[in-house]
Amino acid sequence: MKSKKSNIDFSMIVIVLGFVFAVVAYFFISPDQSKQIIDLINNYILSNLGFVYVLLVLGSLFLGVYMGAGRFGHIKLGEEKKEFSEFAWAAMMFCSSMAAGFIYWGSMEWVFHYMKPGLGIIPFSAEAAEYAATIPLFYWGFSAWGIYLIPAVAFAFLRYNLKNERFDVSIACKPLLGKYADGIGGKIINIIFLFGILGGIGTALGIGSPLVSASLNHLFGIEDTPSLRFWVIVVVTVIFTISAYNGVKKGIRVLSNANIILMLLMVIFIFFIGNTGFIVKMQTTSLGLLIDNYFKMSTYLDPVNNGGDPESWLVFYWAWWLSYAIFMGLFIARISRGRTIRQVIFGGLGYGFAGSFSMFSVLGNFSMDMHLRGVMDVVKGVTENGGPTTVIEMYSKIPFGTVFILAILVASILSMATSFDSAAYTMAMVSSKQISLSGSPDKRLTIFWALTLAALPMVIMLFNGSLAHVQALSVVLALPTCIIYTIIVISCFKMFSDYEKTSGHSL
C-alpha cells in the first residue's frame, strides 16, 4: 500500500500556489495596475477571440447530441448498477454548476438586456422585454449545459470502462496528444485546468457574496461593506470545505439535495405569489423565440456595429461555462457510474435546461412584471443601487418578504457551497497520483484546494475590486482551458475508434 503522502502530486500544488501568491502579492503592491492588466487582456479577448468561444460551444452541442443519439449512446459507463438515484444525480449535477447566480441572474439578468438589447431592437420596447426574458434561457440553456457532457463521457469511459487509476485531465488528452500528454505536458494540462476553476469559481463567489451581504444587511441591519463580504466568503468557505471533506456520498449529495429542494420551493412560491398569468404567457412566448432564434443567438458577434452587446455577454458567459467545463466533466463522470452515455448526455441537457428554465423564467418574469406594472422601478434600482441590493429590495415587497429573504440568504450560501465543494473535490482528484475505483482523494488535499479557491476573490474583494474584475479574470483564465477542452473532445471520439480497433469489435 502506498502511504497517503506519496499519493499527492506536490508539483501541481506548488505551481498553482505560486501563481495565486503572485497575483495576491501584485494586488497588495499595485492594486490599480493589476486590475488594469486584467481588464486589458479581457478586452482583447472580448473583441478579438469571441468567435473561438462561439464555435467551440455550438460545435460541442452538435457533437454531444450526435454522441448521445448515435451509435455510442448505448454504451454503459462501467458494469455496475447506477450509483445514484435519478433525483440525486440531477440535483448534484445542477447544484455543482449553479451558485447564487440562480437568484441574482435569475431575477435581474433581463434588466441588462432590456436596457441594451442590441440586434437592432429598440431599448425598453415590448420587443426588448420579450427578448430580455428569452436570452437568459439561452445563456443558461442547452448549449451551456452541453459544454460539460463530452468531457463527462470521456472521463467516465476512461475511469469505469478502461479502468484508469488516475482521475486526471491529461489522460483524457492522450488519444490525441500521445506521449506529449505525459510528463511535463500532462502537468501543464492539469495546471491549466486548475487555473480555469480558480477563475470560474472566483466569478461565482464575486456574485454570490454581495447577495449574501445585502440579505444580511436587510435582515439584521449589518452595514454592507467590503469587509462584510470578506467574512461572507470565509463562512461559505468553511461550509463547503466541510462538505467537500465529507466527500460525494455524505457531504456533497446531502447538501445538493437540500439545496435543490429549497431552490424549487422558492421558485414555486414566487410562481404563485407573482402574476402567474404573465409568467406563463412570457414563458410560452420565450420558448418560441428561443427556438426561432437559436442559431442567431448562438453566433451573433455584431461585426458591423461592434456595439458590445450582446457580443460581450455571449463571450463572457461562454468563457465562464467553459472555465467550469473540465471540472464539471470530472465531477459528472464521478457521479455517473452505471449510466449509459445517452443517459448522461440527454440527462445533462434535459435536467440542466429544465432547471435553468424554471428558475430563470419564473424569477425573471416575476421581476419584469413588478417593473412593467410599476410596483417597483427595477431598472432604476439596478442602475443606481446595483443588482444585489435591488434583488433584496424587490423581494422585501412580497408577502412573507422577510422569510423569503432569509431563504435567499440560506439558498445563496448553500448553492455556493454545493458548487465549490465539488470544485475542491475534483481539484483534489486531479492532484492525487492515484485513486482506487471506489476511493476518494486525500482529505487534506481537498481542504487545501477549498482554501485556495477562496483566496483570489477574497483579495480582489478586499481591494475593492469590482465584480467586473473577477469576471474579467475568469474570461482570461478560461482561454487556455478552451485549448484543453478542444483536445478532450477530439480525443474522446478518437478514444472510441482506437478502442474499437484494438478490441476488434464495435462499441
Residues of the shown chain interacting with ligand NM2 in the complex, contacts defined by CB under 6 A: 97-102, 200, 204, 207-208, 320-321, 324
Q: What is the smallest separation between the CB atom of 62 and ligand NM2, expressed in angstroms?
A: 20
* CB closer to ligand NM2, 89 vs 321: 321
Sign, CA torsion 218/223/226/227 = negative
Q: What is the smallest separation between the CB atom of 102 and ligand NM2, expressed in angstroms?
A: 6
d(CA 289, CA 129) in angstroms, rounded, equals 12
* CB closer to ligand NM2, 175 vs 388: 388
Distances (CA, A) of 41 to 420, 472, 490: 26, 8, 28
Which residues are paired to 54 by β-bridges?
Answer: none
* CB closer to ligand NM2, 27 vs 317: 317
Cβ(212)–Cβ(412) under 8 Å?
Answer: yes
Q: Treating both helix axes as pointing N-terminal to C-terminal, what angle do 31-48 and 467-503 enclose, rounded to 10 degrees?
A: 50
Largest alpha-carbon pair distance within the chain?
69
* CB closer to ligand NM2, 119 vs 236: 236
Q: Which amino acid would we find at residue 111?
A: V
Q: What is the smallest separation between the CB atom of 470 and ligand NM2, expressed in angstroms?
A: 11
Give the three-class secondary structure for 64: helix
Cβ(51)–Cβ(134) under 8 Å?
Answer: no
Q: What is the smallest separation between the CB atom of 144 and ligand NM2, expressed in angstroms?
A: 7
* CB closer to ligand NM2, 170 vs 203: 203
Tell me how far apart the terminal alpha carbons of the chain are, to the nearest angstrom: 35
Supply 396's cell numbers: 422585501
d(CA 271, CA 264) in angstroms, rounded, equals 10
* CB closer to ligand NM2, 27 vs 324: 324
Q: What is the smallest separation between the CB atom of 357 and ligand NM2, expressed in angstroms?
A: 14
CB-based closest residue to ligand NM2: 101
Q: What is the smallest separation between the CB atom of 207 and ligand NM2, expressed in angstroms?
A: 5
* CB closer to ligand NM2, 175 vs 208: 208
Q: What is the smallest separation between the CB atom of 319 and ligand NM2, expressed in angstroms?
A: 9
d(CA 450, CA 242) in angstroms, rounded, equals 9
